[in-house]
Amino acid sequence: MSYTKQPDPNSKPVKYLTNRIKGMNKSEAQLKAGYKDVNHGTRIEATKTYQKAIGELLLPEEQVAKEHNKIIAQDDDKGAKNRGIDMYYKIKKLYPSDSQTIESGDVSITIKKQ
C-alpha cells in the first residue's frame, strides 16, 4: 500500500488554481491566493504542488465532454451555445481552410480569411 500526500488546500499554488477554475484571470488569482506580485503565474503553474492539484481538481475529460454537449444542446443562452459550437469546431478541426471558392455557372468567387 502506497501513501500519496494530497496537496494542501491552503497552499498558495492550490488557492491560485482554485481561483483560476472559478474564472479569475491570472493576476486576480495570484493576489487572492496571497501572492504579493502578479508577475509569476508561469512559475506558480510549474510547481509540483500546482501540477499535482491539477490532476485532482480538474474534471475528467469524459465529464467535460458531457458538460460541453449540454451547453451546445441548451437554448437559453445563445451566446454560450454559439461559443460551445465554435469550440467544438476548433477541437475537431472542422473549420474550412483559409480560402473558399464558390462556383455558379460562369462565375467563380474566392473568399479568403484575413
Is 100 contained in some domain?
A: yes
Quote the CA–CA distance of 20 and 94 in Å, as a whole number.
Answer: 29
Is 3 contained in some domain?
A: no
Residue 65, CB half-sphere, CA atoms under 13 Å: how many? 5
Helices 78-92, 61-73: crossing angle, 10 deg rounding: 130
pLDDT digits (tens, 9 = 90+) for 27-58: 999 999 999 988 888 899 999 999 989 888 88
- Map grid coordinates 472559478 to a residue: 22
Last residue within a domain, chosen from 57, 72, 92:
57
pLDDT digits (tens, 9 = 90+) for 75-114: 999 998 888 888 888 877 776 667 777 788 888 777 776 6
Query: What phi, psi does 102 have (nearest 5°)?
Result: -115, 130
Is 7 contained in some domain?
A: no
Q: Are residues 75 and 112 in the same domain?
A: yes
Is 84 contained in some domain?
A: yes
Q: How many structural domains are present in the chain?
A: 2
Q: 0.95 exceeded by the pTM?
A: no
Q: Are residues 76 and 93 in the same domain?
A: yes
Is 94 contained in some domain?
A: yes
Is 2 contained in some domain?
A: no
Residue-number span of the structural domain to which 108 is assigned: 60-114
